[in-house]
């Protein structure tokens, strides 16, 4: 299974993504054949800082769980209005 095939199952989820020139917390918006659209979250304000298009072969690591991801999900969830 290729990394892109696996990442497609994590579209619209919060992750920590590490690529060739950096790593950030954010949300995977779209996984294409050659790139990943990734919304970076500012962890201090819990707001979206920027959107990046990352060339797929440059992605080294994706963390899908852990305490930091859980904290980000909890913070974003608490800001939702009913």
Judge residue 32's burial from the number of C-beta atoms within 10 Å of its C-beta, 0-12 exposed, 13-18 middle, 19 or more buried: exposed
Whole-number Å distance between alpha carbons of 45 and 33? 32
In the chain, domain spans = 3-78
Residue 16's Cα: distance from chain center in Å?
6
pLDDT 10s digits, 6-47: 899 999 998 999 999 889 999 999 999 999 999 999 877 888
Query: Containing H/E element for 72?
Result: helix 67-78
Is pTM, for the whole model, over 0.85? no
Written out in words, the top-level CATH class of the domain with range 3-78 is: mainly beta
């Amino acid at each position: 299974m290729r990394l892109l095939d696996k990442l497609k199952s994590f579209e619209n989820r919060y992750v920590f993504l590490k690529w060739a020139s950096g790593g950030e917390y954010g949300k995977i918006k779209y996984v294409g054949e050659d790139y990943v659209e990734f919304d970076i979250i500012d962890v201090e304000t819990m707001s979206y800082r920027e959107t990046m298009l990352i060339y797929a072969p440059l992605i080294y690591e994706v963390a899908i769980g852990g305490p930091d991801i859980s904290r980000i999900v909890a913070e974003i969830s608490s800001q939702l209005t009913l």
